[in-house]
Structure 1
């Protein structure tokens, strides 16, 4: 029997159209993304990398509104483990995203920690493990970010564990959550990234459910993932290898994840993402249509 997932608001994001950067000739134009995401049956979208969609609030509101779309969140990348010295530069970027996010009526900012491997070249740019001092900087910096966005913009931050960042595995996610104030810092659970890094999404929801304020729905191909792990392949090349796949072909199974999120009893966005940068321009929409149909079959 299909469970009714009436607390989950399903959407998609530029990432599902192969968009990783504000401007890149390998990416589809933003107009095509908006046209196709609406035609695929989604109502909610994320802003994606700042500058990909128009940053003028009036123009963006018109563009999304006339397609029947609404914005669920903005996204920022941060390197707060580097300490107070990076705060001003970080805040300058976050503030622009926050202003546009609030203007679009959204209430969340998805915060992605900086990569320790370059996402274009795969070159290692920092050690993969943080020192105790860097963990303290990361926790206090995220709390400050959460407080500033809550008090200044009425927005909640949801931190996104991500492959090739310092918040990735079950151990690191638990350490981060235990070190941060629940009133200031929530979690965006990306089911694909968490599986990529060896985590169990259902277990995380059942253990830290009160911290999870947002979902990214994604699956990984277990055979490709095994090869990625065997060869130590960085995340960018792994995506080009096809490590992220169309549901329900991969792991984790999404039905138990959705059911566990529904049991939390709170309204929550569940935004579909399928990393596939770069990809042919005709590839994303058929996948998006099939994925939306699949999620409806799950009750969402």
Structure 2
């Protein structure tokens, strides 16, 4: 059985597109292609070109496709939810207009994917990897986070044909 792998800009330390010390996106794409990867994630929104035509040309230049885009953000806050909806539209619009990773035989849902990760707050992150000590969300916040994940997943699938997947990030909400 073949298990294709892809990479993501986070492997180059890319976590916040506003960080002035990040490697140039062209370097990341060049090195990913040189390492033999055929697909890559978008990384944080704004790191790679956000215009679909520019992104498509850039990826083609390096013979890369997109496997996923990622939302790594606060999934609990009601006040922040409209920002997540707008971000989902931006990411999925690009994912649906750029070449996706090759289909994976036998899988019911094919790339591209929208990876949804709750941004671990500092209190929970202190206990990452020590589940018995980690604080939990209260029932109300947990339910709100689930509603947000379902809404973003539904939006991605129904409007763009992009399958959402959940990343169980260390220091996140669980």
Question: Structure 2 length as normaliser, TM-score?
Answer: 0.81
Q: What is the Cα deviation at residue 159 of structure 1?
A: 1.1
1:110 aligns with 2:115: yes
Deviations 1:220-279 (A, max 9, x none): xxxxxxxxxxxxxxxxxxxxxxxxxxxxxxxxxxxxxxxxxxxxxxxxxxxxxxxxxxxx
CA contact (8 A) 1:128 1:165 kept: no
Match of 1:29 in 2: 24
Q: What is the Cα deviation at residue 42 of structure 1?
A: 0.8
1:88 aligns with 2:88: no
Deviations 1:187-243 (A, max 9, x none): xxxxxxxxxxxxxxxxxxxxxxxxxxxxxxxxxxxxxxxxxxxxxxxxxxxxxxxxx
More helix by share: 1
CA contact (8 A) 2:116 2:164 kept: yes
Partners in 2 of 1:69 and 1:82 — Cα distance? 35
Q: What is the Cα deviation at residue 78 of structure 1?
A: 3.5
Partners in 2 of 1:140 and 1:29 — Cα distance? 36
Partners in 2 of 1:25 and 1:82 — Cα distance? 28
Question: Structure 1 length as normaliser, TM-score?
Answer: 0.49
Deviations 1:32-64 (A, max 9, x none): 111111011111100101111111111111111
CA contact (8 A) 2:115 2:164 kept: yes
Matches within 5 A, 1:29-48: 29-48=24-43
What RMSD over aligned residues (CA atoms) do the two structures have, in Å? Answer: 2.1
Aligned residues: 156
Partners in 1 of 2:20 and 2:146 — Cα distance? 36
Deviant stretches of 4+, over 6 Å: none
Partners in 1 of 2:83 and 2:36 — Cα distance? 38
For 1:15, which of 10, 14, 31 is the aligned residue? 10
For 2:91, which of 72, 97, 101 is the aligned residue? 97
Matches within 5 A, 1:90-169: 90-106=84-100, 107-117=112-122, 128-167=135-174
